[in-house]
């Protein structure tokens, strides 16, 4: 039972013990606050009203590693952290804990925390618990509460894929994963993912911090929408169960620091195969058709006819049907009379299949009775299956907190899919909508209510699929997709924003949803291009959506249109050529996207970035616009309104920008109007950047690769550096040294530009020469270091240098 501390007399704490970086403050009636100094910029606070842990282990915390133990990590496990030097002092009123970057002051009466960050030689107060009833020490109920003072100049970014504006201020959000088909990207809440992390940014001082609440519970964040005269301005977090267990992550200078550190804290992003960056076809209508195998074959024929590049296809759940319903791991042999031949026909054209799988067995599933007898399902307290509504039937979820279920699942993934040549799994409809308090999960030997394990079930499902793929093909990198997920999902899967509704509004707000995910540690994401639910997109909307989608890590055109039509690259003859050209542009940019995913994996860098996050000192970038940064080098400005042939773009101050299409340079700090035909989406390169390209001529079924680089050297001198990672794109051989890099460096003065292009380490196909593009206005003499300049000409606004490399 929790303590029933009197509201009039909040508990008074005192430091009772300190063991290395773990401090314990205790009060009367067993109230307890534990502080963990994990790094000079990360401090954890654990508040226990009755001195006992109420939540399960954590599956989120995996500092700098690929994963956690299957059974989770003990809450007080400090492995993976290197405690920094810190100083503790206290008097009758306060305890002060100070690292080189963070100062935490705990008011002993009530245990309230106040946080400061050191930036530019001065300490800045960035967060304070609300002075009135900040926590719940048994005053109200058994839920978890945390109330914080709110400043009017603060921005809040993150919380995963929330709908609406990028800045979460003045809104409230609920994390209770549900299947929100046809959602409004502007207003719908809740949605699919559970990521209780956000960044607070205070532009006036260029300081901020990340807050991560380590909980699996359904929870709610109010970011200043609620107002109560008795308490002043505040924001708050409420969880339905568990403990108040949060991590404070300092972020001075840029909000990106908090994102990097949070991503490190929760595990290394998966290094996925390169083909996962190609176009992935998908639609429900193909596999729902009675002649599904033939319809799937027609997709390949159309790709060949229109020369649409394609690397994978997401096989919707219709392949599992019996009658109108879907049964995971069942193949409908009437729709697919030759499974192996069908899969091989795709592989022969270089297209991998990613098969849809679902974690619920309908009550008439062929394997239901056997699974129930084996105890693989989530059960009610009376031992019967815990019934849930699932699609058009009643069923029961598999219990992935039972190791036997995990083994069963892995065996079926291998036997039903992987042995036929299916390359990947699409983990879908995995929100685990369990609402009954009587439903129980096995909990890896410690049963507890299943409604408290929903996010964990999702995580364990995708992990089981991941492990099945790794066991089946240990020499290949697994590729997986999951719609739902929680903190740590980036260790396993690529994701997308779910079943969006077709509209211009969705196009605009999906951009912000992707940025919110990236600022929450999940970079490998995208959207259903063209919209999944609702009317078919018109030609203009479809072309604009493709022109936006080609810049995202996940690029898939997927649909279930109300009128039975299918979103396909060739759905509108009047824009088919432009769409095919846009997809080829996507493939031209894949080396850059691959490098960004490598930086995400190796250095925890977010791939997509809000403008303010990359340019926090430019006030115009604080505005909620429709642009984004792709890495630190490329500004993407999609057209998100009908009837536009140009695009107004604000260029952040302090640097120059060069149009990809014209090579024209623009000073920052101004708004420019650029042409925006369908096939030429507006994007610009930042001065000082190097963007790798694949300039080989590519055709469907005939991949080709030739590396080139587009660079914008500093006009007034200085060093420009960049490059990209190189490996075979699919195997695990990179772990044993079969990986290399291209490195490009440029230094210059007013008259001469000195260029060095180097190959480092393993290369699959070493090139003897490489093309380097610099803006056409770049008139300085070129000097190559360690190589020979063999050609110099202009092409489409760029000066193309051909450099022969020494062996």
Look at residue 266 and tell me if it is in a domain: no
**Burial (Cβ within 10 Å: 0-12, 13-18, ≥19) of residue 349:** middle
When pLDDT is cut at 50, 70 and 90, the band that residue 5 belongs to is low
Check residues 464 and 133 and name the one with the higher pLDDT.
464
Q: What is the pLDDT of residues 706-736, one digit of tens each?
A: 999 999 999 888 899 999 999 999 999 999 9
Strands 102-107 and 94-98 turn out to be antiparallel
Three-class SS of 366-431: CCHHHHHHCCCECEECCCCECEEEECCEEEEEECCCCHHHHHHHHHHHHHHHHHHCCCEEEECCCC
Q: Would you say residue 720 lies in a domain?
A: yes
CA dihedral sign of residues 607, 608, 612, 613: negative
pTM attached to this predicted model: 0.97
Confidence label for 465 from pLDDT (cuts 50, 70 and 90): very high
Residues written for the chain: 807
Element (H, E) at 504: helix 504-518
Name the pairing type of β-strands 670-675 and 665-667.
Answer: unpaired
Kindly state whether residue 596 falls inside one of the protein's structural domains.
no
Q: pLDDT by residue (tens digit) across 648-692?
A: 999 999 999 999 999 999 999 999 999 999 999 999 999 999 999
Judge whether 353 lies within some domain: no
Residue 322 lies in a domain: no
pLDDT band at 806 (very low <50, low <70, confident <90, very high): confident
Supply the pLDDT for residue 25: 98
| Rounded mean pLDDT, 238-246 | 96
Tell me how far the alpha carbon of residue 734 is from its chain's centroid: 23
Which pLDDT value is given to residue 7? 59
Residue 501 belongs to a domain? no
The C-alpha atoms of residue 149 and residue 232 are separated, in whole angstroms, by 8
The terminus-to-terminus CA distance of the chain in angstroms comes to 72
Query: What is the reported pLDDT for 78?
Result: 96
Query: Is residue 759 situated within a structural domain?
Result: yes
pLDDT at 6: 59
Residue 727 is part of which domain span? 706-805
Question: Residue 85 — left, alpha, or beta (φ > 0 → left; ψ -120 to 50 → alpha)?
Answer: beta
Average pLDDT, the chain: 96
- Domains of the chain: total: 1
Q: What is the pLDDT of residues 596-632, one digit of tens each?
A: 999 999 999 999 999 999 999 999 999 999 999 999 9
Q: Select the more confidently predicted residue: 145 or 55.
A: 145
Tell me: pLDDT of 636 over 90: yes
Residue 783 lies in a domain: yes
Predicted confidence at residue 718, as pLDDT, reads 85
Which CA distances in Å does 357 have to 318, 360, 377, 781?
Answer: 11, 9, 16, 58
Instruction: Provide the pLDDT for residue 638.
Output: 98
């Amino acid at each position: 039972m929790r303590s029933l501390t009197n509201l009039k007399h909040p508990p008074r704490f005192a430091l009772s013990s300190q063991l290395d970086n773990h401090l314990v403050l205790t009060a009367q009636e067993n109230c307890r606050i534990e502080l963990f100094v994990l790094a000079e910029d990360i401090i954890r606070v654990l508040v226990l009203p009755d001195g006992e842990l109420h939540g399960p282990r954590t599956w989120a915390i995996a500092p700098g590693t690929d994963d956690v133990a299957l059974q989770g990590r003990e809450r007080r496990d400090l492995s993976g952290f290197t405690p920094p030097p810190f100083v503790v002092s206290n008097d009758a009123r306060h305890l002060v804990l100070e690292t080189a970057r963070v100062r935490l002051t705990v008011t002993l009466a009530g245990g309230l925390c106040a946080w400061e960050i050191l930036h530019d030689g001065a300490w800045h107060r960035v967060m304070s618990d609300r002075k009135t009833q900040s926590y719940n020490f048994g005053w109200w109920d058994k839920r978890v509460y945390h109330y914080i003072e709110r400043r009017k100049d603060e921005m809040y970014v993150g919380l995963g894929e929330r709908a609406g504006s990028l800045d979460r201020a003045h809104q409230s959000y609920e994390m209770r994963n549900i299947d929100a088909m046809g959602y409004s990207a502007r207003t719908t809440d809740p949605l699919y993912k559970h990521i209780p992390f956000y960044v607070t940014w205070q532009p006036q001082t260029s300081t901020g911090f990340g807050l991560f609440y380590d909980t699996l519970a359904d929870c709610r964040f109010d970011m200043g929408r609620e107002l109560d005269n008795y308490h002043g301005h505040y924001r708050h977090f409420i969880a339905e169960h568990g403990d108040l267990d949060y991590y404070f992550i300092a972020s001075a200078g840029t909000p990106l620091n908090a994102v990097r550190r949070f991503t490190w804290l929760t595990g290394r992003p998966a290094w996925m195969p390169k083909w996962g960056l190609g176009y992935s076809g998908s639609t429900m209508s193909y596999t729902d058709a009675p002649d599904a195998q033939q319809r799937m074959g027609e997709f390949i024929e159309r790709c060949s006819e229109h020369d649409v590049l394609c690397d994978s296809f997401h096989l919707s759940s219709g392949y599992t049907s019996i009658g109108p319903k879907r049964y995971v791991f069942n193949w409908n042999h009437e729709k697919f009379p030759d499974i192996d031949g069908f899969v091989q026909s795709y592989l022969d054209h270089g297209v991998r299949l990613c098969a849809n799988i679902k974690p619920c067995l309908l009550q008439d599933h062929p394997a239901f009775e056997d699974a129930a007898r084996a105890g693989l399902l989530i059960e009610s307290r009376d031992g019967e299956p815990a019934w849930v509504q699932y699609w058009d039937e009643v069923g029961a979820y598999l219990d992935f907190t039972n190791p036997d279920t995990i083994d069963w699942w892995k065996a079926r993934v291998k036997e039903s899919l992987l042995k036929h040549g299916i390359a990947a799994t699409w983990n879908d409809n995995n929100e685990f909508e369990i609402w009954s308090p009587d439903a129980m999960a096995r909990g890896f030997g410690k049963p507890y209510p299943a409604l408290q394990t929903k996010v964990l079930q999702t995580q364990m499902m995708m992990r089981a699929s991941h492990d099945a793929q790794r066991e089946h093909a240990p020499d290949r990198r697994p590729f997986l997709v999951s719609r739902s997920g929680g903190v740590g999902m980036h260790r396993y899967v690529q994701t997308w924003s779910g079943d969006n509704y077709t509209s211009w509004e969705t196009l605009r707000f999906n951009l912000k949803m992707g940025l919110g995910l990236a600022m929450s540690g999940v970079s490998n994401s995208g959207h259903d291009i063209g919209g999944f639910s609702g009317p078919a997109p018109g030609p203009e909307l479809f072309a604009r959506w493709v022109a936006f989608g080609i810049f995202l890590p996940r690029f898939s055109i997927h649909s279930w249109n109300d009128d039975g039509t299918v979103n396909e690259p060739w759905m509108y003859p009047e824009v088919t050529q432009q769409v095919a050209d846009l997809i080829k542009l996507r493939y031209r940019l894949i080396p850059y996207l691959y490098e960004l995913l490598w930086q995400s994996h190796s250095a925890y860098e977010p791939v997509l970035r809000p403008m303010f996050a990359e340019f926090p000192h430019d006030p115009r970038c604080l505005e909620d616009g429709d642009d984004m940064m792709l890495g630190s080098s490329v500004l993407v400005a999609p057209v998100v309104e009908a009837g536009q042939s140009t695009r107004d773009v604000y260029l952040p101050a302090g640097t120059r920008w060069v149009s990809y299409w014209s090579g024209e340079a623009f000073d920052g700090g101004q708004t420019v109007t650029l042409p925006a035909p369908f096939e030429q989406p507006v994007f610009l390169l930042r001065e000082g950047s190097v963007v790798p390209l694949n300039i080989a001529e590519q055709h469907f079924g005939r991949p080709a690769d030739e590396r080139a680089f587009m660079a914008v050297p500093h006009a007034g001198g200085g060093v420009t550096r960049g490059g990209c990672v190189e490996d075979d794109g699919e195997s695990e051989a990179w772990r044993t040294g079969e990986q290399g890099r291209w490195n490009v460096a440029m230094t210059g003065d007013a008259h001469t530009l000195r260029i060095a292009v180097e190959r480092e380490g393993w290369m699959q196909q070493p090139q003897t020469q490489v093309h380097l593009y610099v803006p056409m206005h770049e008139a300085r003499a070129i000097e190559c270091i360690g190589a020979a300049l063999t050609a110099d000409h202009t092409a489409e606004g760029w000066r193309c240098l051909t450099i022969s490399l020494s062996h």
